[in-house]
Amino acid sequence: MVAASFAVLVAISVLTCLLMAWVLGANSNSPPFAPAIGANAISTMQAAFVIGLLAAAGALMQGGSISETVGADLIDGVTITPLAATAGLLTAAAFMGVGIYTRYPIPAAFATTGAMIGVGLSLGGDPALATYRRLGTFWALVPIMSGGLAYTTAVVLRRDDVPETVGVPLLAGVVGAIVANVRLGVLPDPVADQGTLARTLSRQVGGGPTLVGNADLGTVVVTVAVGALAFAWVRRRVRVSVEGGIRSFLLVLGGIVAFSSGGSQVGLATGPLENLFRVELGLPGIVLLSIGAAGILAGAWMAAPRLLQATSREYAQLGVRRSIAALVPGFVIAQLAIALGIPISLNNIILSGVIGGGLAGGSAGVSTRKIGVTITFWLLTLASSTVVGYGLYRLFAAVIGS
């Protein structure tokens, strides 16, 4: 009887995880292609299809670090039970469902973090204050970093004294160099949990002397080579057609950010089940990430177009140059968060970039009212999801038993 009850609870927890991942695919993984749609570089339906595939791939290859943080580091003194995980995930999914319905993107990181803190406190756990300070600092810096970098990049790209055949390819080179050092779970590394393309290729040729930190000569050479290839590819396309080349780079950027989005968001759905899958069931992490990736794929394909329209048309009217400026910080910050194991909101990053890029052309294209309402939604989400998560678990525990 006990085993049967446990099996039912596990099944419910998994279904809740899938629901949460579905909402993430529809909500938080949509913004990466919003600037591209706003610049008419891709259609809404095409973007939804590509987002699903790339975000699911990112979830499988990069989702482990965020999942561990959400599952173990948000509360001290207790472990998250399947019932508590279900309560937390239902709370977060409900908040983001409201965002989809109202067309105001609610940050998944805020909703999930608040919900899991609430259920953890309801379990009798203690606040993980050190973790909260780390998360709060990073979250507070995101709009400044994203909006500021997007604004600066957009201003530079719009300058008449910066040739299109130089400015955009140089930016592509920087992105390519960062891509070479993106951490991927499919690449083994003797030092870190996840390897990078640059370090993996470097080890194949012996690496060479260490230069800075853990970076050896081979890693630096591969990084520069990948950046040079990206520069040459974009420069060649821009020389053939300036607008065509820039649009091509914009689409590639959207794909890279969508991949990063999956890696940074899937942990918000799978994290609450970390203890259940890894400890109680003894399953490898890839099994849990696969469940999350499947939900993200389904959500992106089935429901992303609605939010894509909202984020691409209503926040700022961007051209291709300002759209590129909005996506670059999204990619950089998302990868930094993954490396640090910090759950983040892609809505926060991308929309800050969209606003920063839009302001580079004047404030006329930016809806200040919608921005203000969105920020209010974000602040309310963190506090109210904590309260709802706390109360929902207490209700479940009273009716079902802990």
**Res 351 pLDDT > 80:** no
Cβ(181)–Cβ(196) below 8 Å: yes
Question: If you average pLDDT over residues 198-207, what whole number do you get?
Answer: 79
Instruction: Give the pLDDT band of residue 46 (cuts 50, 70, 90).
Output: confident
How open is the CA angle 68-74-79, to the nearest 5 degrees?
Answer: 75
Cβ(34)–Cβ(261) below 8 Å: no
What is the pTM for the complete model shown?
0.85
The dihedral built from the CA positions of residue 113, 44, 313 and 164, taken in this order, carries a sign that is positive
Contacts of 283 (CB under 8 A, 6+ apart): 277
Domain total of the chain: 1
pLDDT tens, 267-297? 999 999 998 888 888 888 889 999 999 999 9
Token digits for 188?
């083994």
Question: If you average pLDDT over residues 347-375, what whole number do you get?
Answer: 67
Question: Residue 46 is which amino acid?
Answer: Q
User: In sequence order, what are the beta bridge partners of 366?
Assistant: 316
* Cα 327 off chain centre by: 12
**Res 100 pLDDT > 80:** no
Q: Which range (124-138, 169-183, 318-332) has the least confidence? A: 318-332
Q: Which domain covers residue 311, as residue numbers?
A: 2-399
Question: Residue 269 is which amino acid?
Answer: A
Query: How much of the chain, in percent, has pLDDT values that exceed 90?
Result: 27
Q: Which range (17-31, 79-93, 109-123) has the least confidence? A: 17-31
